[in-house]
Chains A and B, each alone.
Chain A
């Protein structure tokens, strides 16, 4: 990418020494280090209940008693009113695709053999009061949607529902939902 740049009068080359990849490997005193750190994350008050709900095949949210916003994933407090969100609601799980993309790479930028489609799902939240800019939604995989659907824009706004894993395979994490799949015509 880098090109030989034209030299101009008054062009001051900024300090610094560029290394080619091979030069880097032959540097004296090069240290390789791999951190070893292990973590156990607790999901917290609100999300623990949400994850238990997933195990039972339910999508749970919290509702703010003051402004009526529904939070999925649930929060213990309303971000707008700063009030505790004490009321729990079960959502139907259906929703619309807010955005979707086709990934050809994995977490560490390795090429994937099969592209994966992921997106943001705006969930139906009956009784949601606000909702122009913010909404109840989840980030998840999409299945039954082709890369062409994403590229043509057909996928956006598509009605979807969760495809649950069989109950015996559910472990109480986001992967209890295998993916969101389109609702066939006339069903939702």
Chain B
């Protein structure tokens, strides 16, 4: 590893916590955030007094039905600590740890708590209705769009450009739901076959029900510390080696949909900071964002972990299995563990942390791990957020 010239303090991850991910949870957003934060602090052997700053994230307020939702669940921050909410749609989950990183890296805080919470179930009868308000009111809403359209269009384009079939893409869903069988928080873990995916309810061709991650409630938290603090807290800190984020424009219908350039820019930024020149060889385990099964392949290519259009071929060779050359979504990802939007991204970061500490238990990948990566994506096919961790 080369010395990082970008920062004042090197930053480590020292603890992580999760709540259950479920379709409906009894707990309020506050309670969920507190549970996750408490777990993360406990795992690091810290108390709330040891935390200098708090960074939190949650996706559109409309799911919880409360504006200022970040502030609403910010009771975990309480007691007048510097607190900030960051938001980039679905990419929020990985943007929260990025923001926590710069709080510590800048020297502003010695320790920072990153919390992400999402409660989608209050939106009734289905959160799909809330997604209707993310579309452009002038040019898109009059056409009566459904959120799944945009993914289906991207998936169709990807299939066309890369010659990937629905059968191959469905294998991502099969792999991730199977991986999730070993995850205690998982909502949609299952042993299914490609046929099950293809025979599930057809929503928007080429997207079937099992191509999509479920609607979830849940929270995740991760504790960050500066180098000195981290060495005091733990013998096995996991270092933040690089971060990256990039935003493209909202006009998703003015762009080639088969390749996520914004993810690529974010990844290049993170690799440069981490001193990684050949990510396809140097990254040992990855958690690319997988709200839809094709998205995992799409992002693997954007992250340069495979060449454009190469991911479906590698998937067929079990390259991305837990025992494969480059395990992806060993946690089970959003397809298996669940998709409480912001919390799902932070869950991916937590998984990489556990993988790099060899604490993932039955989920631990077979190969030795040195560098891991988590990525999220969000807004209207717009934003890529990437974090690279190393042990």
Chain A residues in the interface with B (C-beta under 8 A): 1-3, 5-6, 8, 10-21, 23-24, 27, 32-33, 35, 39, 41, 43-44, 47, 51, 71-73, 79, 98-109, 115, 118-120, 132-141, 147, 150-151, 153, 156, 173-175
Contact = CB atoms under 8 A, between A and B. Distances in A.
Instruction: Give 9 nearest A-B pairs by CB, closest first.
Output: A16-B20, A99-B157, A101-B152, A17-B26, A102-B205, A139-B253, A15-B35, A109-B128, A41-B137
Interface string B122-155: 0010101100100001111011111011001110
B25 A18 contact: yes
Interface stretch (B74-82, B187-195, B312-320): B187-195
A13 B184 contact: yes
B261 interface: yes
Contact of B257 (A19, A118, A120, A147): A120
A150 B254 contact: no
25 contacts: A1-B190, A1-B214, A3-B181, A14-B18, A14-B39, A15-B27, A16-B26, A16-B217, A16-B218, A18-B25, A20-B24, A41-B138, A100-B156, A101-B205, A102-B205, A104-B203, A104-B205, A108-B146, A109-B146, A118-B143, A139-B143, A151-B205, A156-B157, A174-B138, A175-B143
Contacts of B218: 16
Contacts of A14: 18-20, 35, 39, 184-185
Contacts of B254: 71-72, 134-137
B184 A16 contact: no
A158 to B, nearest CB: 12
Given A20-B24, A99-B257, A102-B204, A2 B188 contact: yes
Q: Chain B interface: which size bin?
A: 35 or more
B186 A5 contact: yes
Contacts of B129: 107-109
A43 B253 CA distance: 18
A11 B184 contact: yes
A12 B184 contact: yes
B305 interface: no
B45 interface: no
B139 A107 contact: no
B204 A16 contact: no
A173 B142 CA distance: 8
A73 B180 CA distance: 43
A150 B156 contact: yes
Given A19-B24, A108-B132, A120-B153, A174 B143 contact: yes
A103 B149 CA distance: 7
Interface string B1-41: 00000000000000000111011111100001001000100
Contact of A153 (B18, B20, B160): B160
Interface of B: 18-20, 22-27, 32, 35, 39, 65, 121, 124, 126, 128-129, 132, 137-140, 142-146, 148-149, 152-154, 156-157, 159-160, 181, 184-191, 202-207, 214, 217-218, 249, 251-257, 259, 261, 361-362
Q: Chain A's interface: helix, strand, loop or mixed, by majority?
A: loop
Given A99-B153, A139-B140, 19 more contacts: A1-B188, A1-B190, A2-B187, A3-B190, A5-B186, A5-B189, A11-B184, A14-B35, A16-B35, A19-B26, A73-B139, A101-B153, A104-B205, A107-B132, A109-B126, A135-B254, A135-B255, A156-B156, A156-B157
B143 to A, nearest CB: 6
A51 B23 CA distance: 42
Contacts of A44: 138
B312 to A, nearest CB: 16
A44 B35 CA distance: 45
A91 B359 CA distance: 59
Nearest to A101: B152
A151 B252 CA distance: 22
A47 B203 contact: no
B27 A101 contact: no
Q: Which of B65, B156, B206 is most buried by chain A, counting CB atoms within 10 A of its CB?
A: B156
Nearest to A41: B137
B153 A17 contact: no
Contact of A39 (B137, B146, B186): B137
Nearest to A9: B361
A47 B24 contact: no
A184 to B, nearest CB: 23
Given A16-B27, A16-B35, A120 B253 contact: yes
Q: Which of A3, A8, A103 is most buried by chain B, counting CB atoms within 10 A of its CB?
A: A103
A105 to B, nearest CB: 5
Contact of B32 (A16, A73, A120): A16
A172 B161 CA distance: 35
Q: Which of A12, A44, A109, A174 is most buried by chain B, counting CB atoms within 10 A of its CB?
A: A109
Nearest to A175: B142
A105 B146 contact: yes
A8 B361 contact: yes
B19 A101 contact: no
